[in-house]
Amino acid sequence: MARLTVVCMPGDGIGPIVLPEALRVLDAVGFEADYVQAEVGWECWRTRGEPLPARTLELLETWRLGLFGAATSKPMDQAESELPPELQGRGLTYYSPSVAIRQAFDLDVAIRPCRSFPGNPLNFIRRAADGSVEEPRVDVVVFRQNTEGLYSGVEWTHPPPQVRAALDTHRRMVRFRYIPSEDMALSCRIFTRPACLRIAEAAFRYADEHGYPSVTCCEKPNIVRETSGMLLAACREVQRAFPHVDLWATNIDTMTMWLTKNPEDYGVIVSGNVFGDILSDAFAGLVGGLGFAPSASIGARCAIFEPTHGSAPKYAGYEVPIVNPVAMILAGAMLLDHVGERERARRIHRAVARVVADARVRTCDMLRLRASPEVLGQGAASTREMTDAVIQAL
């Protein structure tokens, strides 16, 4: 196979801490690739007013494969106030670079595995009928439509008259007829059939290839009829090509109740953008939290791999970093899987599983310690020590 080049976008906050750890693991597992560094995130905004520089987009356009650390987002007014004076008042607006990359390259399929590693003290447990404690094995993969829905960005506070007039053609607008447009905020939840079919196909193909018996479509078609209905219809259509994979449908609200009752009953889940965002965090919470949750954003010509966690800037300034690098390491393994390096990806998984099961090396989140430099004296491993343990276990 031709040697690959991976665009590395550490970003800010803890992104630049965890991303190099994933690279160490990729090296250790024998993955030979070239890496190019690209800037993204808060520093780019603060100094130049652009969170996603053109060079980064060009590199992604060229190499089509990226590792992303994390990028801070702040409310609009605060973002503006942190710009250098000469860039203020020019109408520059901050936007989330990870969302911008997803949309720029149409990375419409997000894959978010939430799998418990046995022995993780953060795993979800529940009380059984006889009072004993059970630890169900969670093995869920959320397929989140990654570019549309409420992330369409088509929104207004005070919609212009043409938009208002168009809305007023809908009979349900009667209820709002006395509300002046300036008192109205509108965020369009746009679903398109091609995107629904693509996420449904990705979910069914994955279930088929990995031996999951069913796909659960998690939306709210009883109320949000048109958009949720379109995704469910796409799932029904795609399911016909996978007769041995069942299709289940559940509503998002019910799902967030069921997932702490019987999480072991779920496997592949497919959702729109916002519900998929919520569900992937909810399931991540059952398997150790965001320190264990990787994510892939995949399009037809580019793919980005990142931890689901954010930039957590308050944990970034430590002399010895203490954040858990596992989510980023697992994101690296997802990259390997994506480029066909299945065995190397599996080795990383097995190594993480062994470190977790061995119980000797635990980052502070795993010990439920409040993050502070003191945790190192309380038995917590540093970020680097955790990676070292994974490399050792390889």
Residues in region 190-249 near ligand IPM by CB under 6 A: none
Beta strand pairing status for 139-145 and 109-115? antiparallel
Specify the 3-state DSSP secondary structure of 258. helix
Q: Is 277 in the site for Mn ion (CB under 5 A)?
A: yes
Contact present, 216 and 270 (Cβ < 8 Å): yes
Considering the complex, state which of residue 50 and residue 281 has its C-beta at the smaller distance from Mn ion: 281
Q: Using CB distances below 5 to 8 A depending on partner kind, what does residue 311 bind out of Mn ion, ligand IPM, none?
A: none
11, 68, 98, 245: which one binds ligand IPM (CB under 6 A): 98
Query: Among residues 281 and 385, whose Cβ is nearest to Mn ion?
Result: 281
Please give the angle made by the CA atoms of 233, 196 and 111, to the nearest 5 degrees: 125
Q: Map the footprint of ligand IPM across residues 253-292, applying CB under 6 A.
A: 277
Q: Are 14 and 69 in contact (CB under 8 A)?
A: yes
Residues 77-96 that bind ligand IPM (CB under 6 A): 96
Interaxial angle between packed helices 326-338 and 342-358, expressed in degrees from 0 to 180 and rounded to the nearest 10:
160
* CA dist list (Å): 153 to 8, 156, 189, 290: 26, 9, 9, 26
Q: How far is the CB of 284 from ligand IPM (least distance, A)?
A: 10
Alpha-carbon distances of 385 from 11, 25, 58, 360, 368, rounded to whole Å? 22, 12, 35, 11, 17
Cα-flanking dihedrals φ and ψ of residue 41, to 5°?
Answer: 105, -160
Q: Could you give the angle at the alpha carbon of 10 between the alpha carbons of 91 and 152, nearest 5°? A: 45
Locate 287 and state its tokens.
């398997």
Name the residue nearer to Mn ion (CB basis): 12 or 277.
Answer: 277
Partner whose footprint covers residue 310, from ligand IPM, Mn ion, none (CB < 5 to 8 Å by kind): ligand IPM
99 in contact with ligand IPM (CB under 6 A): yes
Total binding residues for ligand IPM by CB under 6 A? 6
When the beta carbons of 201 and 277 are compared against Mn ion, the nearer one is: 277
Minimum CB distance to Mn ion smaller for 144 or for 164: 144
In the bound state with Mn ion, the residue whose beta carbon lies nearer, of 9 and 351, is: 9
Using the rule CB under 6 A, is 310 a contact of ligand IPM? yes
Kindly tell me which residue out of 56, 123, 239, 308 binds ligand IPM, with binding defined by CB under 6 A.
Answer: 308
Binding site for ligand IPM (CB under 6 A): 96, 98-99, 277, 308, 310
Footprint on this chain of Mn ion (rule: CB under 5 A) = 277
